[in-house]
Amino acid sequence: MPNAVIGITCRKDIKNNWNYIPEQYVKAVETTGGIPLLIPLLESKECIKEVAKKIDGLLLSGGSDINPVLYKEKVTKWIRKVDTIRDAFEIYITKIAILLGLPILGICRGCQILNVAAGGTLNQHILRHWQKKPVDCKTHEIEIKKGTLLFDAIGKEQVKVNSFHHQSIKTLAPEFKVSAVANNGIIEAIEHKAHKFVLGIQFHAEYLWQNDCSFKNIFSKFVDSCARGATYYEKI
């Protein structure tokens, strides 16, 4: 019986004024025993705090570029569409979730949000990491470090993944360590040094888990960690 409520951050369709998320995120959480709860882009900090207190874990979903102003850099010509409301919301709920000791899984943009929220920076544009093949195709290899959360889930030092990002982690936040890298040195996964489960992955496991149990294990480990409770609780 599912017993862990997993908050999944939404993205916004500005034209239609919708908050939405691709169903693959929802199915990945539901199939591995979690209760998915979509979180719209909230602006009230008090409201965000209350939502964070009512979930057992946080899934930061993929999406558009993060505004470089948030990591103290100038906006370059490479920056595509940004959503300042989403940036502010996700960075704040990430900080609150870390304070509360909630398990967190960040996917693609979500991995970058984890880094920026903790004081890291991003490369605004990189080459060769936006594949032309379908979303469920694996196009490049990453090397996973032993003794990490990702290695515990995948069980291999090398694995192929999909890739849909033109930004990447540049300066790693002090609270985090690298879990995996691509063969060109791009950081592909990070994890928090102190928490039992705060993991960011640069690839899109939500499109791979149905055909590869290694990627399903990422969600299983995450949901299981959420069901077991927070690392600690800091009153906020």
| Residues forming the active site | 108, 204, 206
- Return contacts of 144-147, CB within 8 angstroms, 24+ apart: 144/179, 144/180, 144/189, 145/178, 145/179, 145/180
Structure tokens at 227: 């069901």
DSSP 116: H
Question: Which amino acid type is present at position 160?
Answer: K
**How many whole angstroms separate alpha carbon 100 and alpha carbon 94?**
10
How far CA 131 is from CA of 14, 21, 23, 127, 128, in Å, comes to 26, 21, 21, 10, 7
For residue 225, report the phi and psi dihedrals to the nearest 5 degrees: -65, -40
The answer to whether the beta carbons of residues 121 and 99 sit under 8 Å apart is no
Quick one: which H or E segment has residue 118?
A: none
Structure tokens at 14: 């500005």
Q: How many CB atoms sit inside 10 A of residue 156's CB?
A: 12
Quick one: which H or E segment has residue 5?
A: strand 4-9
Cβ neighbours of residue 63 closer than 8 Å, sequence gap 6 or more: 11, 83, 86, 108, 109
**How many whole angstroms separate alpha carbon 114 and alpha carbon 127?**
22
